[in-house]
Amino acid sequence: MDINYLIISFVLLPFLAFLLTLFVPEKEESWIARFASAGVALNFVSLVAFITFWGLSLNFLPLNIKEITLYESEHYAFVIDFYMDFASIVYLLIGTFLTFLIVRYSNYYMHLEVGYKRFFAVIQFFYFSYNFTTLAGNFETLFAGWEMLGISSFLLVAFYRERYLPVRNAVKVFSIYRIGDVGIILAMWASHHFWHENITFFKLTDTAFVTEHISQHSGEALFIAVCILVAAAAKSAQFPFSSWVARAMEGPTPSSAIFYGSLSIHFGVYLLIRTMPFWEQQMAARVLIGLVGFITAIVGYQTARVQPTIKTQIAYASVAQIGIMFIEIALGYEKFALMHLVGNAFLRTYQLLVSPSVVSYLIREQFYHFKEREDHQNFFLGKRFHYALYLLALREFHLDFLMTTYIFRPFKHIGSKLNFITYKNVFAYFVPTYVLGWVLWFYKDDLASKVWDFIPIVFGLIALLLIMRAFAERHYPVHAWILIILGHLWIALAVIYNEKFSFKELTWYLSGVLLSGFGGWLCLVYLRRRESPNFNMYRYQGHSKEYPYLAWVFLACNLGLMGFPITTTFIGEDLIFGHVHQNQLILAFWLASSFVIGGIALIRIYARLFLGIHSKTNQEAPLQSF
């Protein structure tokens, strides 16, 4: 038995089950459930076989498997790398067991629900993404799984896509995830320069190797650790990103259980454990991680006590427990944190699955056996402090307001001020300037060195401004789409000026951009011709009701343009950052912000056009959400 094939099966079996589900007719609920259950069950069998073989023959030694080299040049290689250790086994076991439980539960819970097939397809895609991320052996592989987890989360939160609140909250959750992506992207960029290679998590276990590098570049090491913390905090709803978890409860109860109760929300903990050999030697990083966990534990506990719905109570309780796990990891008790994680995952899954029944029981109990609650007059630190804390908890410590006001609204405000970037001005000024930039590049030897160093920052800023304008656009979807494509083209030009960037690497980056961009443009033009009066982004239009296949095609083009791992642009983004120098933090921030804001702008275009209450009055509409 080849152990490599067993490890690959943990990824391939869920993916095959996902593909098979796509070809099953919508009405065949039994076959859809069977494919999902069989895929997870076979994965569980292969996992047990692997653990047995691994323990008997290798005594549970960590394994690193270099599987596929997707791109390789003289100074760079993009490798799909798998890594297996104790933490991976724990995550795979709880993930497989709980996914099987959720699939069996959903078979009955989602019976005759509109979108039954779509729900199971997304659940299986999530399970594939979960295993892929868990087995990731380097940052590039982990980022691919990280992106897939994000889009599957968006699709499940927006499952009831004909309603306003689920769609709005799905966009908000995805936006917070994209902030976490900034941390991963910048950590990848800094790691390339810090290690001078695509470092694997297996190699990080070499203590002497890591200590030597940190002692020589302590500032850069702390920067990477902070970026990792930002990504982990965003994914696990830690302070100051905690508010999204309550909004994510708009999806079906089984998806809430598997995502925000048990599995997906714990990936911030997994990221910290996986990179622990790197940051555990930095006291400042450990203090920051512990401080984030401590603040989150307090905020989550207080907020959970005053939530009006049982699902949000469970969500914030889980967030508080994960904050304690951050503290445990910061103190060096990662195995204890894993035990804590397993208990929290099983408990929250159980609580969410029985929550509908618990609500009905409590209502009945309150109706027949109501007792007035006694008013206790003794308050810790005084009544005024107690009431102030109560009001803060009711308002979720204003975290959602702070995120909107100080992160998203400034970008939107800047974008709205760039209203001079119109169709006419784009083709009159930006396109000729872009062509001129390419012409000057062929005469780069004649440019002064100071001008040469300044040009990439200017071009990167132009790309960011174009994408921010697309982010703020609400009237013309095609205009926003074209601006995002132009933003990618300016990014490529900025990097061409920054360092020697071969045309082969340029092709890897731009081929996915142009292919996805052209496909999405065709979808938008077709929809504009068919739905001219209802073709804007002032409100959610809900066109997926009439154009379901067009919605899926446009979503695929959307994902390709934002660098999702279905086109070469995903590798091209990593190539781009490989040519940004170590001292060019501003340029790296411009590019990372462009990718992140562009992704949010793209998902907004998709959501505004295809999701939500249908704009036509001749279509059925759900009751208004409050």
Contact 610, 551 (CB under 8 A): yes
> Which residue intervals of 196-309 are DSSP H helices?
207-216, 218-235, 244-247, 253-256, 267-274, 276-279, 283-305
Domain range list for the chain:
3-365, 418-610
Contact 126, 264 (CB under 8 A): yes
For the chain, what's the residue count? Answer: 626
Q: What is the pLDDT of residue 626?
A: 43
Residue 50 phi/psi, 5° resolution? Answer: -65, -45
Mean pLDDT by 10 residues, the chain (626 residues): 73 89 86 88 88 82 80 76 89 91 87 86 91 90 89 89 88 89 88 84 87 84 93 91 86 82 88 91 92 94 87 89 94 92 90 76 62 62 77 85 85 86 83 84 66 81 92 90 93 82 81 92 93 83 88 93 86 84 86 90 92 71 52
The span from the CA of 17 to the CA of 33, in Å, is 10
Residues ≥6 apart with Cβ < 8 Å to 479: 422, 423, 470, 473
CA 285, distance to chain mean position in Å, is 23
Q: What is the pLDDT of residue 619?
A: 58
Query: Computed from CA positions of residues 217, 220, 226, 227, in that sequence, does the dihedral angle turn out positive or negative?
Result: negative
Residues ≥6 apart with Cβ < 8 Å to 325: 266, 269, 293, 337, 340, 341, 344
CA 287, distance to chain mean position in Å, is 25
What's the one-letter identity of residue 465?
Answer: L
Q: What is the pLDDT of residue 327?
A: 95
The span from the CA of 612 to the CA of 418, in Å, is 28
CA angle 125, 136, 127 (to 5 degrees): 20
Provide long-range contacts, Cβ within 8 A and 24+ apart, for 579-583.
Answer: 579/495, 579/498, 579/499, 579/500, 579/501, 579/505, 580/189, 580/495, 580/498, 580/499, 581/193, 581/498, 581/499, 582/190, 582/193, 582/220
pTM equals 0.91
The counts of H helices and E strands in the chain are: 26, 2
For the chain, report the end-to-end CA distance as a whole number of angstroms: 57
Which residues on adjacent β-strands are paired with residue 138?
A: 200
CA 624, distance to chain mean position in Å, is 29
* Phi-psi group of 61: left, alpha or beta (phi > 0 → left; psi -120 to 50 → alpha; rest → beta): beta
Which of helix, strand or coil describes residue 200? Answer: strand
The span from the CA of 543 to the CA of 557, in Å, is 17
Tell me which residue of 560, 593, 565 sits closest to 491, measured CA to CA: 593
The span from the CA of 467 to the CA of 451, in Å, is 25
From the number of C-beta atoms within 10 Å of its C-beta (0-12, 13-18, 19+), residue 468 rates as buried
